[in-house]
Amino acid sequence: MNRLLLILTALILALSGQVLAKNRCESLVLSGGAHLFPYFFHSSDALPDRIDSSTRAMLSRRHGSVGDTVLTALSRAGIAGHVAPPKPWRRMLLEVSRGQIDIIAGALKSDGRQDLLEFSDVIDYSEFHLFVKSKDSFTYRHPEDLKGRRGVKVLGMSFGPEFDDFAFNNLTFEEVPEYSSIFRMVAAGRAFFTVFHRESGGRLVRELGLERDLIMLPNIVAQEPIYVAYSKKSPCQSELAQVRKEIRMMKKKGEIERISSYYQQFLEVNSNREPGIHILVGENR
Amino acid sequence: MYGIPDGNQSIAISASKRAESDFKAPLSTTVLDGSRILRSGATNVPEALRLVPGLIVREVSNGVYTVHIRGIDNVPPLNRPTTLNNRLILLMINGQSMYDYFDGGINWSALPVSVENIDRIEVIRGPASALYGTNAVQGVIHIFTRKGTASRALEISTNQGSSGLSTLQGAMEGLLNDTSWRFSGFRNERDRHDEQYYIYADQQYRSAININIPSAQGNPFPEPDRAMESQGLSLRLNNPEEYIFHYDIGLTHQEASSHRMYLYDETPLSDTRERSNTLNARVQYGQVDFRASYQDGDSETSGLPDFTTQKKNTQASIEYSYRLPHWVIRPGISYEKSRYRSDYLGGKKTLETRSALLRSEYRPTPEARIVAALRYDDYRRPSDGYFSYQLLGSYALDPQNLLRAGVMTANRSAFMTTHYLELQFPVPGVPDRQINIESDPEAELTKGISYEIGWRSLLQFNHWFEIEAYYTELEDFSAYVNQGTTNIGGTDIDRRVLQNLPVRAKQLGLMFNWGYEGVSWDITANASWQDTRLHNQPDNLSSPLSTSDIDSQSTPEWYGGIDISWRPHPKWDLNSQMYFMKSYALLAGTPDPLYYSPSRWILNLSARHTFSTGVTGSMGVRNLSNSDSPQSHYTDPTDPYLWLGLQVRWED
């Protein structure tokens, strides 16, 4: 009798677990960095200040190039997508590690993150640009142009293996813990240049009130591939497999590139590459 | 998110004199963040240091502590209980050494800083003289205080509890043009759990009114119920660090009185008072780093008016950081002068050191780092020069695993009671008998060498551990050795002469530190094991010395702690901190030299609740333990106490 009760209880628990998991997986939770425009934004409130109200209205139902890609793939797979409210990056990783967030729409790849996340093919590229004092503006063509000039970067920050390798062997970088410090040090003359993501760098410069002191050079220094990252701890692995399949198909059909090009119009500085510019790319397109 | 490592890393500055991730620091390093200190419910610096692996923190009286790093110290000299205080740690506040050159060591009750005013504490375990000079033999504890922020703010916090616990702290801060300022003040009080004092001659605790201490002139214990009280004011002014010309100036005033292990030979505790004013300034121009400080103060011990001492300490250093691809080279020079005036010393005495250092860091590959640092300290007393060095290497197997190894040397400084003492005094109550105490101005300074290997691993961004093993040797301890009695002119004279001891202390140790961070909770745990052997340890301090090899029992074989933090609700933060020490036996030159302390655990519980933005309430209980016996040599027993706290911050 006792054994029968035990089996029945186990059966009920297993079934209820399946039902719960099924309900949970009818809608997948996605999130992304709080300042990752144009690749991801939670809502139009998170758009950069410089974007006017009509454009805001236009983008109000969108979530950036990678966010839109994920939502389109979810829709095609017949799965609802729920964009989680913005959270600090570390908190988001903790929730990913517990399977509370299923997808990160826009992440750079690193060895540590691969323990936690499964990465898609490359979805887009984040561009690194040089920020220098306005009066020190020059035409950047090649990393060799930076030789003999003192740079500053955020502690431990990577610009992709190719640029990192060049910098290690040829450049002098001071490393500081705060994002804001790198721009302030360039403005104060403590360093000649810093390298940072185009959009978020421009936003930080404005937030620090340094837009008159600093200029972002238009030519790209390096690119880092951006991926969709899937939680390995998500209870909805079969649904994630469908999303992965849809994203691969979208990439094959060029749809992802079209979504990405749509967002190019909103970028801060047009980085049309001049002939002869050497761009360091973290991973071939 | 931006390509920055996600791991649980803090920024460490002290291990390389520039910002780096503590995961990559080439020395054994722990960074204790100010917010973690407050969360733990610690109300003073030594209590906070119980959160740091490899530290042995013993309570002497309520709120009065001794702190040891790894514990291969205070073992060989047998002459006085004072030697149980640590004289081999360098404590710095914002780069300024707080070492006491009168009798060596640190008065932990007289720090001009409250826990609320601490930004972070960085601890380096192991010798670091090549970086910071003399006295960094067992390690460095570097306190960074808070700077003013861009917004105007006013904060007040208080803790009130049983056993006379009362703390009050206030601070104002703001921005004036480019200069941020922060003005803060604090007052701390603690009562003793018991008003009795242990008398070595009687081998028992006695009430203060029944104490007869022959060497005391007047009342040695005017306030037997008060364990400690301290108060201080500080002003800090600085412009942004990012500027080419950066300044950071601090002015502090502090007053403290406490029952601590100090000068008396008849009883472990002395009632001491200390006052000081300090100016500490750092100026950076580009890559040139200049620092200067001046401290003016006095100290006194109840019942010992001859020991009233005025001190003036001056420190200055200039270093330059030169960077090339693969290389960072940092040459520098420094100067330190300590003047003490006291009847006991026979007037004004001066210690002076001139130093030169060169630190070079080479990275042959992005994964590998080799650090070589050499420092030369030229002392006026003893008239000798000492080299100290560091040779360190680290290799990142991958971004999650770092191996490191190193060999480091260090030496202690001279201080007044070892290198300047010339005393002749009659033995109280014994006619025609005199004691002569003769220091040795040329006595060798205690020095040591340490070999370390370590492995740090980030199992995941929120899960890490570190393991390190070390072997340390110390030599050239010194003590006053009884040379026997000679009769000169009808007076028996006992001569006690400072001399270096043949003892060599050898310690083998292991440290394990582990941490895990969850969504609403985190846990850290650490444990240290050590085995210390003393070769040629004198059996007593009478000439000629007879020696033997012994296992030192003065440091617990095992010690460590577990810290758990749980945030069940965004407004609630619950913290449990357990510290444990295995049994140990402290040895001092007293009639009952051996003090046995049983194995003990000490549990501190605290809860914090955020009522609204800027208003936090807290409560807790500290010192829950399986043993209330004294943690140090016949000092005060420890009792649990309850406390309630309130923290308010208004901000523009």
To the nearest whole Å, the CA of B398 is away from the closest chain A CA by 8
Instruction: Confirm if A39 and A256 have CB atoms less than 8 A apart.
Output: no
Summarize pLDDT for B340-393 with one digit per residue, the tens: 999 989 999 999 999 999 999 999 999 999 999 999 999 999 999 999 999 999
* B 229-248: CB under 8 A from A: 240-244
- A131, A133, A174: which to substitute to probe chain B, counting the most B Cβ within 10 Å? A174
Q: Where does the pLDDT of residue B100 fall: very low under 50, low under 70, confident under 90, or very high at 90 and above?
A: very high
Cα Rg of chain A (Å, integer): 22
pLDDT at B76: 65
Q: How far apart are CA B91 and CA B99, in angstroms?
A: 7
To the nearest whole Å, the CA of B515 is away from the closest chain A CA by 14
Interface check for B63 against chain A (CB to CB < 8 A): the answer is no
Expressed in percent and rounded to 5, the helix, strand and coil fractions of chain A are 40, 25, 35
Q: How far apart are CA A185 and CA B634, in angstroms?
A: 55
pLDDT at A5: 63
Q: Bridge-partner residues for A118, per DSSP? A: A230
pLDDT for residue A19 is more than 60:
no
Summarize pLDDT for B255-287 with one digit per residue, the tens: 999 999 988 888 999 999 999 999 999 999 999
Choice between B518 and A3, residue whose per-residue pLDDT is larger: B518
Interface check for A208 against chain B (CB to CB < 8 A): the answer is no
Q: Which residue has the tokens 């609630």?
A: B572
Kindly list the residues from chain B whose CB atom is less than 8 angstroms away from the CB atom of residue A84: none
Instruction: Confirm if B77 and B84 have CB atoms less than 8 A apart.
Output: no
Residue B573 phi/psi, 5-degree rounding, is: -135, 115
Q: Are strands B64-69 and B55-61 parallel, antiparallel or unpaired?
A: antiparallel
Q: How many other CB atoms are there within 10 angstroms of residue A148's CB atom?
A: 10
pLDDT at A15: 58
Q: Where does the pLDDT of residue A283 fall: very low under 50, low under 70, confident under 90, or very high at 90 and above?
A: very low
Residue B109 phi/psi, 5-degree rounding, is: -85, -15
Q: Are strands B504-517 and B547-551 parallel, antiparallel or unpaired?
A: unpaired
Give me the mean pLDDT over the B35-64 stretch: 95
Record: contact B4-A181, CB cut-off 8 A: no
Q: Bridge-partner residues for B283, per DSSP? A: B247, B290
Give me the mean pLDDT over the B97-120 stretch: 95
DSSP state of A40: B
Residue B645 phi/psi, 5-degree rounding, is: -140, 155
Query: pTM of this prediction?
Result: 0.93
Interface check for A31 against chain B (CB to CB < 8 A): the answer is no
pLDDT for residue A113 is more than 90:
no
How high is the mean pLDDT of chain B? Answer: 93
Record: contact A112-B458, CB cut-off 8 A: yes
Encode B587-611 in three state secondary structure: ECCCCCCEEEECCEEEEEEEEEEEE
| Cis ω before B5 (30° cut-off from 0) | no
pLDDT at A4: 64
Residue B397 phi/psi, 5-degree rounding, is: -60, -40
Interface check for B364 against chain A (CB to CB < 8 A): the answer is no
Length of chain B counted residue by residue: 652
Range in B461-465, B510-514, B527-531 with the lowest mean pLDDT = B461-465
Range in B151-165, B415-429, B617-631 with the lowest mean pLDDT = B415-429
Q: Where does the pLDDT of residue A88 fall: very low under 50, low under 70, confident under 90, or very high at 90 and above?
A: confident
Q: Where does the pLDDT of residue A13 fall: very low under 50, low under 70, confident under 90, or very high at 90 and above?
A: low
Summarize pLDDT for B566-615 with one digit per residue, the tens: 999 999 999 999 999 999 998 887 777 889 999 999 999 999 999 999 99
Reported ipTM: the value is 0.89
Tokens, residue A123: 């979805």
pLDDT at A284: 33
**CA atoms lying within 13 Å on the CB side of residue B123:** 22
Record: contact A184-B518, CB cut-off 8 A: no
The CA-atom distances, in angstroms, between A153 and each of A203, A208, A214, A219, B276 are: 17, 16, 15, 18, 41
Closest CA to B396 of B124, B25, B123: B25
Tokens, residue A231: 């939680």
pLDDT at B1: 47
Closest CA to A95 of A105, A82, A106, A84: A84
Give me the mean pLDDT over the B68-94 stretch: 83
Summarize pLDDT for A234-259 with one digit per residue, the tens: 999 999 999 999 999 999 999 999 99
Vertex A240, ends A235 and A244: CA angle to 5°? 160
Closest CA to B51 of B41, B64, B66: B41
Contacts of A270 (CB under 8 A, 6+ apart): A218
Kindly list the residues from chain B whose CB atom is less than 8 angstroms away from the CB atom of residue A192: none
Q: Which residue has the tokens 């600093």?
A: A214
Q: How many CB pairs under 8 A join A and B?
A: 104
Q: How many other CB atoms are there within 10 angstroms of residue B318's CB atom?
A: 15
pLDDT at B592: 79
| Cis ω before B382 (30° cut-off from 0) | yes
pLDDT at A285: 32
* A8-37 exposure pattern, b = at least 16 Cβ within 10 A, e = fewer: eeeeeeeeeeeeeeeebbeebbbbbbbbbb
Closest CA to B214 of B198, B194, B197, B199: B199
Instruction: Confirm if B626 and B601 have CB atoms less than 8 A apart.
Output: yes
Cα torsion at A130, A133, A134, A136 (round to 10°)? -90
* A97-126 exposure pattern, b = at least 16 Cβ within 10 A, e = fewer: bebbbbbbbbbbbbebbeebbbbbebbbbb
pLDDT at A281: 46
Instruction: Confirm if B88 and B411 have CB atoms less than 8 A apart.
Output: no
Record: contact A172-B517, CB cut-off 8 A: no
pLDDT for residue B420 is more than 80:
yes
Kindly list the residues from chain B whose CB atom is less than 8 angstroms away from the CB atom of residue A164: 366
Q: How many other CB atoms are there within 10 angstroms of residue B62's CB atom?
A: 25
Closest CA to A262 of A11, A68, A50: A68
Choice between A283 and A225, residue whose per-residue pLDDT is larger: A225
Give me the mean pLDDT over the B468-494 stretch: 93
pLDDT for residue A1 is more than 80:
no
Q: What percent of chain B has pLDDT over 90?
A: 82
Q: Bridge-partner residues for B187, per DSSP? A: B168, B231
Q: What percent of chain A has pLDDT over 90?
A: 54
pLDDT at A6: 59
Instruction: Confirm if B597 and B583 have CB atoms less than 8 A apart.
Output: yes
* B247-256 exposure pattern, b = at least 16 Cβ within 10 A, e = fewer: bbbbebbbbb
Determine which helix (DSSP H) or strand (DSSP E) holds B166, and give its type and residue range: strand B166-176
Q: How far apart are CA B172 and CA B366, in angstroms?
A: 44
Tokens, residue B298: 């006095």
Tokens, residue B527: 């444990």
End-to-end alpha carbon distance in chain B: 30
Length of chain A counted residue by residue: 285
Determine which helix (DSSP H) or strand (DSSP E) holds B512, and give its type and residue range: strand B504-517
Tokens, residue A234: 């998500």
Instruction: Confirm if B258 and B230 have CB atoms less than 8 A apart.
Output: yes
Choice between A227 and B84, residue whose per-residue pLDDT is larger: A227
Q: Which residue has the tokens 């920024």?
A: B11
3-state class (DSSP) for residue B417: helix
* A 138-177: CB under 8 A from B: 150, 154-159, 164-165, 168-172, 174-177
* B 402-461: CB under 8 A from A: 458, 460-461
| Cis ω before B112 (30° cut-off from 0) | no
Range in A180-194, B414-428, B433-447, B527-541 with the lowest mean pLDDT = B414-428
